[in-house]
Every structure is written in structure tokens, then in C-alpha cells.
Structure 1
Amino acid sequence: MSNVKTKEVLNQTVADLSQFSAVIHQAHWYMRGTSFLALHPKMDEFMDEVNDYLDVVAERLITIGGSPFSTLKEFSEQTKIKDEIGSYDKTMTERLSIVLEGFHYLRNLCTEGIEVTEAEGDHVSQDIFIDMKGNIEKTIWMLHAELGTAPEL
């Protein structure tokens, strides 16, 4: 049984989780405004969650014979999550919207991972994507609630 596409989507996830951790870190460092005291530590929680997923995904990739991206250059070249130079000119709402956009992207990537792993019969990797997707959807709901919008799942 071939698992080429599973390895590809796992490695895409490695690159995107690595990039997204930096995006969240930027929000954490550059946020100013109402709800700072609540949102600043929340960004730490999001980074911890993303980094935990990163470890699980990379270790699964290694387990099935893959080689996870592991350099900043590889993350930058492979990620589909955009970044920008940090600045203090964004509102708290704009910062949360950027983080929310990243979680929406990861949710869609998990959907792709679920489909690919099903097609290739890798139910262990599929379970990782299913677990991530469920947790990410909860985070999306919470961020939308903070922004006063519907989760759009």
C-alpha cells in the first residue's frame, strides 16, 4: 500500500504548523488594546496546542518512513500560511482575525488529510487529523464568539 500522499500532507502540515506558531507568536508580541490581559495568555495556549500537534504530526511522518521539514527555509518555502513583518498598528480584532484565518486554513488541511489518509488506508494518521480537526473547530468557534460572529463551520 502506497502512502506517498499521506507523507506529503503530513509534511505540509509540519510546514504550516511551524509557520502558524510564528504567526501566533507575532500576535502575542504585538497585541495592544482591550482584552490584552485575557488574549495575551490565550496566544500562549494556542502556540502550545499548535506545537503539540507539530510534534505528533512530525513523529507520525517519521514513523511511516518520511522525513519532516526541519529548517526555517523549508518551512518558509513549503507553507501556505502567509506572514508579514510585525507592527503595532493592528487592532485586537485584526490580530484575532489573522489567527482565526490560520485556524480555518488548518481545519481545511485536516479535511484534506482525512481524505488522503482514508484513500491510502492509514487510519492512524487519519485519527491524528480527525483529532486535530475537532480541536481546531472548537478553537474556531471560540475565536468567532470573541469576535461576535458565527463559526461558519
Structure 2
Amino acid sequence: MKKISELLGLKANEATQLGEKLNELLANYQMFYQNLRGFHWNIKGEKFFELHAKFEELYDDAVMKVDEIAERILTLGVTPYHTFTDYLKVSSIKEAKDLSDGVATTEATLENLSTLIKLERAILPLAEEAGDEGTLTLLTDYITQQEKVVWMLASSLK
């Protein structure tokens, strides 16, 4: 049986390289998701209701993206990371512990989103060079949506 990458019309080495970069993205999404859960649970203050709901919306979206990224990694013939040991080792996004203030949690979320967008943009040329339209489409859709969230969250801080 042919490798999955061959069935997709991709070179095996390029598919593997993309899968590894997507594993880095997956690790960052898992940390982003976990930070959002903590913010949702622990938010306090005058913006409680607004931010409690927003963080839930964002972590629901993040968990869907985690699944999509893991499935894309599998589609490329690579095994997705699935332990927090791997996530902590690979992720640029770090744990946000004991944050409950609206401004601090919003700023942390903006920083985390910025990290994700930069990583997604760094993967785009690799996917383009490999002719991997599936990864390109996935990431450009994410970036478009995330840019709007960044604008909205940044506007809420002014």
C-alpha cells in the first residue's frame, strides 16, 4: 500500500515536515485552549458576564481546531502529539496561572492569538511549496477568523 502522502499527491518528506510543524501548532492550540478554560472559570470583576461567555466561545472554537489540526496531521501521515508533556515541551504559549482580572486575561488571550497567527503564517509557505491546498485552506480560514477576534479583543481594551 502506498503512503498516505503519495495518495494525496504530496512528497513524503514535505508531508512529514508539514505534519511536524502542525504538531507545533497543535501543542500551542492545546495550551491556548487550557488557558481559556482557566480564564473562563476564574474571571472576576465588572466584565465577568461578558468575558465568561467570550472565553467559553473561544475555547469551544479552539477545541474544534485542535481536532481539525490533529486530523490534518494524521492525513499527512504523521502522528499528532497527544500528551501534555509534548505540548509543554513544544509550545511557545505558556501556562497562564492565577489570572482572573479582565484586562490581564484579555491581554494574555491577545498574546496567545498573536502566537498562533504568527505560527500559522510561518506554515503557509511550507504548505504552498508542497502544493498542500488542504493545509493552506485550513490555516487561511483560521487566520481570517482570528484577525477579527484580535481586533475585537484589542478594541475592548481601549
Q: How high is the TM-score relative to the length of structure 2?
A: 0.87
SS in 2 for 1:3: helix
Residues 113 and 150 in structure 2, CA contact (< 8 A), matched pair in contact too: yes
Residue in 2 that maps onto 1:94 = 104
Q: CA offset at residue 5 of structure 1?
A: 2.3
> What is the CA–CA distance in structure 1 between the aligned matches of 2:99 and 2:153, rounded to whole Å?
21
Residues 16 and 76 in structure 2, CA contact (< 8 A), matched pair in contact too: no
Residues 29 and 62 in structure 2, CA contact (< 8 A), matched pair in contact too: yes
Same amino acid, percent of matched pairs? 26
Aligned residue identity for 1:147? L
Alignment of 1:29-48 (within 5 A): 29-48=41-60
Question: Could you list the per-position Cα deviations for residues 74-130 of structure 1 after superposition, in whole angstroms to 9, with x for gaps in the alignment?
Answer: 111111101143255xx3111100011001111111101212111222111111110
Residue in 2 that maps onto 1:128 = 138
Alignment of 1:32-71 (within 5 A): 32-71=44-83
Residue in 2 that maps onto 1:115 = 125
RMSD: 1.2
Task: Give runs of ≥4 in structure 1 deviating > 6 Å.
Answer: none
1:143 has 2:138 as partner:
no
Tell me which structure has the larger Cα radius of gyration: 2
Aligned residue identity for 1:108? K
Aligned residue identity for 1:131? D
Residue in 2 that maps onto 1:151 = none
Tell me, which stretches of 5 or more residues in structure 1 are unaligned?
149-153
Q: 2:95 aligns with which of 59, 83, 86?
A: 83
> What is the CA–CA distance in structure 2 between the aligned matches of 1:8 and 1:87, rounded to whole Å?
31
Aligned residue identity for 2:88? S
Question: Could you list the per-position Cα deviations for residues 9-33 of structure 1 after superposition, in whole angstroms to 9, with x for gaps in the alignment?
Answer: 1111111111110111111122111
Q: CA offset at residue 145 of structure 1?
A: 1.2
> What is the CA–CA distance in structure 2 between the aligned matches of 1:56 and 1:105, rounded to whole Å?
18
Q: How high is the TM-score relative to the length of structure 1?
A: 0.90
Residue in 1 that maps onto 2:36 = 24
